[in-house]
Every structure is written in structure tokens, then in C-alpha cells.
Amino acid sequence: MIYKKKILGIVPARIGSKGLKFKNLRKVNNKPLVYWPIKALKKSKYIDKIIVSTDSNKIRKLSKSYGAEVPFMRPKKLSMDKSKSSDVVIHALKFLSKRGVNFDFFIMLEPTSPLTTFKDVDNAIEKFYKNSKKYDSAISVTENISGHPNFCVKIKKNNTIKPFLKNFKTYRRQSLRKLYFYSGNFYISKIISFLKKKTFYHKKSLPIISGKIKAFEIDDQIDLEIVDFIMKKKIE
């Protein structure tokens, strides 16, 4: 809770994964991925309740052992490769609301971003609360350096290179306008607003900048090994 605003922590953790089998059970720094967002939320000074939305009994048991609640099993239709995170969140919010359990804000942490810590959570919540009269949600973003459009090219059918930008010019990286990408460390929203808009991505979303290290997201085995190395070396 922050200034009488109750905050729900949500961790979406299905068993399936297209790129890395049983991804949310894979280990980094000797703990399964689902452990890390629960740990960050538990150590936060603002989170009132933590729930995990999963379709797996194994993830359910693990999550409960780490201190999260799993009040339901996620329906199969919300556990597919094409299922949207927004629908998963709405399902969880409505499930709780029907049972008289209501909150003002929620923050969603995904197991695939295990470098997010309780300090990141608390910092994001504080920034969002301070700006909550102007914004309805907040999303983590990270500066896009190596993937800047100015450095991108297309490969044509005749196997030649064409700059992605029409008005391409050679610049020093330091001279380029800063651009950012959605890094997925956390998503925060007012619940009333989210139930209406059904998305975090709108004009009243507050960008909260996260560092390069925090932006590592696990999609495959290489990502897993990189993050494991970062955690064990305690790189920040």
C-alpha cells in the first residue's frame, strides 16, 4: 500500500513456451524463473498481495512455497501461445473482484525478466504514484542503442543492402536522437483504467527508464545462460 492505495502484484507464469520448453521452471542462479518476480514483490514495501496466474500444478506448488497465492488455475484458452497478457490480467482482476477482493493499482512482473528487483518495484511504484493524477499506467523502457533504426538495414531480393530509413545518414552513435523500447521489466496500472482500456499502451502511460542490464529478457537458452552469468557475477 502506498498512501492508502492498495497494490496487487501479479505474476503470469504458464507452463508452455514456444521458444524454450518449460521456460518458467528453468533455473537462473539456482532458482526457477518463477521464483524471481515473487521474491521482488515479497520484498517490496508496497505490495499488499501477490498472486500467480498459471495453468501448471507444479508452478502452483512452487509459487505457494515462495509465498505467493494461487487462487485459481488459469483457463486453457488463456494459456496458449497467442494468449494476451492483458486478458490474463483481466481474468485475475475479475476473479478477485467477484470475491470481494479489490485493489487500486496492480503491478505485473514476468518471470522472463528475472533481473527486476524489489528496489526496481518500489522505485516504479513511487514514480507512478507521484504522477498518477496525469497517468493511468506505467511501463519500463530502455534506451535502444544497438537496435537504433539508423543502424538497421534491409536485404533486398538481389542480396544487396538498403538502409531501413529513407533519409539515412551516417552519424556517430552519440549524435543520434535517443529512442527507447519496451523492456518488459514491469507494468503498472490503475485497475479501473485497465479494465476499461484493456492495455498498458496508450497516451496516458508513464515511461520509466530501466538500465541495459535490467532489459535482458529470456526467450531462449542463450538468454538463460547470459542472465545466469549476470546474476552469479552480481553485475548491475
What is the chain's pLDDT, residue by residue, as a tens digit (236 residues)? Answer: 998 999 999 999 999 887 788 999 999 999 999 999 999 999 999 999 999 999 999 999 999 999 999 999 999 999 998 899 999 999 999 999 999 999 999 999 999 999 999 999 999 999 999 999 999 999 999 998 877 787 788 999 999 988 888 877 766 666 778 889 999 999 999 999 999 999 999 999 999 999 989 999 999 999 999 999 999 988 76
| Rg (alpha carbons) of the chain, rounded to whole number | 19
The pairing of strands 7-12 and 105-108 is parallel
Which residues of the chain does CATH 3.90.550.10 include?
Answer: 7-142+179-233
Residues 6+ apart with CB under 8 A from 181: 141, 142, 144, 147, 215
The pairing of strands 137-143 and 205-209 is parallel
CA atoms within 13 A on the CB side of 144: 14
Alpha-carbon 170 to chain mean position: 34
Q: What nine digits make up the cell of 107?
A: 503491478
Is the overall model pTM greater than 0.85, yes or no?
Answer: yes
Give the CATH superfamily of 7-142+179-233: Spore Coat Polysaccharide Biosynthesis Protein SpsA; Chain A (3.90.550.10)
